[in-house]
């Protein structure tokens, strides 16, 4: 048997959140945590969590697993069990709607702020805007983000200033467009991030890198943005890296 | 609509070693600003005022274990802040590569460096 401690909160009945322990027979196969949650939901249908693709692509089931943010659907229970126990809590720092479901409005507001789309006012060619393989390589390690919010909600700077600090997830996307050879609004994008809070609240503690389920490195992207803000260095000088941690 | 709870429990959330270094760097910075700096200026002023006040301070420094420990503690906090700060600056200049492993290694090196320096300081002052 394993004990699964789940953070419970139902706004209609509970004044305060509490932890509920479920005991379940340890499955013979090393199933994913999401499957275990599905089994528990058969026991108690009131347990709430988000899930969709069940293969680490949609980023819906981000949660705090034994103190470390991750996706339940790609975390095997063998990795999650500590002392015959698994602790599941919602993503830290965001308002809890119910159980493991958090309100991601602030997170998406920051994503919206960095204008996550290609901006180029020049006349588009007949077919498409082309990019050299070298320029395309610069986007590796940036475009793969699935916006699961594991990184931003593990960042103390984001906990204290979710309205002012853009957070690792959105900054990684900001750099994805700053580094894109087809985007012409580099100066405007950097200008929008030049205040004391948007980027500079990052103190490089690396928890974003520590938890990212896609093994991306937002901290490196933030470092590059800081350098570009300070030196005014040009997009052409960006060197491609695989961006992975 | 009621206020939604927010889950933040620093005792339950895992943070890497570099986070610990960054948080304590901030705390030591506050400590230096509000305590070490004013006390140092006060002591410095006392030492320079007259030969009598110099003798008075040195006398109480040599006799009181409390003052000696207090001065030593202030020095250690300052040393810690400087060492952790240098690591932060090296990271900002991209001189330490921005990967999780090198961040943890550099945090460890900074801590070891601090322990060596503090040991030397304690030996020098006692």
Q: What is the pLDDT of residue A216?
A: 97
pLDDT in tens, B70-106: 999 999 999 999 999 999 999 988 899 889 999 999 9
Outline where A128-167 has alpha helix (H): 133-137, 156-160
Q: What is the pLDDT of residue B31?
A: 95
Name the residue among B6, B98, B100 with its Cβ closest to that of A96. B6
Residue from A203, A227, A244 whose CB has the most chain B CBs within 10 Å, to mutate: A203
Q: Work out the minimum CA distance from B99 to partner chain A, whole angstroms.
A: 5
* The model's pTM: 0.89
The model's confidence at residue B42, banded by pLDDT at 50, 70 and 90, is very high
At B86 the three-state DSSP class reads helix
Q: Which residues of A touch B9 (CB under 8 A)?
A: 89, 92
What's the mean per-residue pLDDT of chain B? 92
Q: Does position A245 have pLDDT exceeding 70, yes or no?
A: no
Name the residue among B8, B12, B16 with its Cβ closest to that of A206. B16
Here the tokens at position A104 are: 């991601």
Taking the Cβ of residue A92 and every Cβ of chain B, the question of whether any pair is shorter than 8 Å is answered with yes
Give me the number of domains chain B comprises: 1
Name the residue among A103, A159, A205 with its Cβ closest to that of B8. A159
In which order are the strands placed within the sheet that holds A18-24? Answer: A18-24, A2-8, A85-89, A62-65, A68-71
Name A21's Cβ contacts closer than 8 Å, sequence gap at least 6.
A3, A4, A5, A6
Contact B22 A203 (CB under 8 A): yes
Q: What is the pLDDT of residue B3?
A: 86
Cβ pairs bridging A and B (under 8 Å): 93
Q: Is residue B42 part of a domain?
A: yes
Q: Is residue B39 part of a domain?
A: yes
User: Is the Cα dihedral A168, A169, A172, A173 positive or negative?
Assistant: negative
Query: B33 lies in which domain range?
Result: 17-125
For residue B41, what is the enclosing H or E element?
A: helix B37-49
By C-alpha distance, the chain B residue nearest A64 is: B13
The model's confidence at residue A241, banded by pLDDT at 50, 70 and 90, is low
Strand-pair category, A62-65 with A96-98: unpaired
pLDDT in tens, A40-69: 999 999 999 999 999 999 999 999 999 999
For residue B118, what is the enclosing H or E element?
A: helix B100-125
- Give ∠ CA A225-A228-A233 in degrees, rounded to 5: 150
Q: What is the mean pLDDT of residues A112-134?
A: 94
Residue with the larger pLDDT of the pair B97 and A5 = A5
Asked if A151 and A211 count as a contact pair (C-beta separation under 8 A), the reply is: yes
pLDDT in tens, A14-27: 999 999 999 999 99
Q: What is the mean pLDDT of residues A126-147?
A: 95
Q: What is the pLDDT of residue A59?
A: 95
Window 75-114 of B: residues touching A by CB (8 A cutoff) are: 88, 91-92, 94, 98-100, 103-104
Q: Does position B1 have pLDDT exceeding 60, yes or no?
A: no
Closest-CA residue to A150 (of A39, A241, A73): A73
Taking the Cβ of residue A156 and every Cβ of chain B, the question of whether any pair is shorter than 8 Å is answered with yes
Taking the Cβ of residue B124 and every Cβ of chain A, the question of whether any pair is shorter than 8 Å is answered with no
Q: Is residue B2 part of a domain?
A: no
Q: What is the mean pLDDT of residues B3-19?
A: 92
Q: What is the pLDDT of residue B125?
A: 86
CATH number assigned to the domain comprising residue B110? 1.20.1300.10
Q: Work out the minimum CA distance from B17 to partner chain A, whole angstroms.
A: 8
Q: Is residue B8 part of a domain?
A: no
Q: What percent of chain A has pLDDT over 90?
A: 93
Q: Is residue B87 part of a domain?
A: yes
The model's confidence at residue A234, banded by pLDDT at 50, 70 and 90, is low
Helix axes B17-31, B100-125, angle to 10 degrees: 40
**Cross-strand pairs, A96:** A102
Write down the number of H helices and E strands in chain B. Answer: 5, 0
Q: What is the pLDDT of residue A157?
A: 95
pLDDT in tens, A169-181: 999 999 999 999 9
Taking the Cβ of residue A13 and every Cβ of chain B, the question of whether any pair is shorter than 8 Å is answered with no
Q: Is residue B11 part of a domain?
A: no
What's the mean per-residue pLDDT of chain A? 93
Q: Does position A233 have pLDDT exceeding 90, yes or no?
A: no
The model's confidence at residue A83, banded by pLDDT at 50, 70 and 90, is very high
* Cα–Cα distance for residue pair A105/A124, rounded to 1 Å: 34
Name A45's Cβ contacts closer than 8 Å, sequence gap at least 6.
none
The model's confidence at residue B69, banded by pLDDT at 50, 70 and 90, is very high
Closest-CA residue to A170 (of A159, A182, A180, A158): A158
Q: What is the mean pLDDT of residues A207-213?
A: 96
Q: Is residue B10 part of a domain?
A: no
In our burial notation (b when 16+ CB lie closer than 10 A, e otherwise), range A160-198 reads eebeebbbbbbbbbbbbbbbbbbbebbeebbeebeeeeb
Name the residue among B8, B12, B92 with its Cβ closest to that of A93. B8
């Amino acid at each position: 048997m394993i004990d699964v401690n789940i953070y419970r909160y139902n706004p209609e009945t509970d004044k305060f959140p509490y932890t509920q322990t479920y005991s379940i027979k340890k499955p013979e196969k090393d199933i994913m945590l999401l499957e275990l949650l599905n089994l528990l939901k058969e026991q108690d249908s009131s347990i709430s969590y988000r899930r969709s693709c069940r293969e680490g692509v949609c980023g819906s089931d981000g949660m705090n697993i034994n103190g470390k943010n991750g996706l339940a659907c790609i975390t095997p229970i063998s990795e999650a069990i500590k002392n015959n126990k698994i602790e599941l809590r919602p993503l830290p720092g965001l308002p809890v709607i119910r159980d493991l479901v958090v309100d991601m409005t602030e997170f998406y507001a920051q994503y919206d702020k960095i204008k996550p789309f290609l901006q180029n006012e020049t006349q588009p060619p007949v077919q498409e805007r082309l990019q050299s393989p070298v320029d395309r390589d610069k986007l590796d390690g940036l475009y793969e983000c699935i916006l699961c919010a594991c990184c931003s909600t593990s960042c103390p700077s984001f906990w204290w200033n979710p309205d002012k600090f853009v957070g690792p997830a959105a900054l990684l996307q900001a750099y994805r467009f700053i580094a894109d050879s087809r985007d012409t609004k580099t100066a405007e994008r950097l200008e929008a991030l030049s205040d004391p809070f948007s980027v500079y609240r990052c103190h490089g503690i690396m928890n974003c890198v520590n938890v990212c389920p896609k093994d991306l490195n937002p901290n490196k992207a933030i470092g590059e943005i800081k350098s570009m803000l300070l030196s005014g260095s040009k997009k052409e000088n960006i060197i491609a890296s695989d961006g992975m941690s | 609509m009621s206020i939604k709870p927010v889950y933040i429990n620093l005792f339950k959330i895992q943070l890497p070693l570099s986070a610990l270094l960054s948080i304590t760097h901030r705390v030591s910075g506050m400590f230096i600003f509000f305590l070490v700096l004013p006390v140092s200026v006060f002591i410095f002023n006392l030492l320079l005022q007259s030969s009598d006040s110099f003798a008075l301070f040195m006398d109480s420094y040599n006799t009181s274990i409390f003052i000696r420990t207090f001065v030593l503690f202030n020095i250690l906090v300052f040393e810690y802040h400087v060492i952790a700060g240098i690591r932060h600056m090296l990271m900002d200049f991209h001189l330490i590569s921005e990967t999780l492993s090198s961040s943890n290694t550099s945090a460890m090196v900074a801590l070891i460096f601090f322990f060596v320096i503090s040991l030397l300081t304690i030996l020098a002052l006692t």
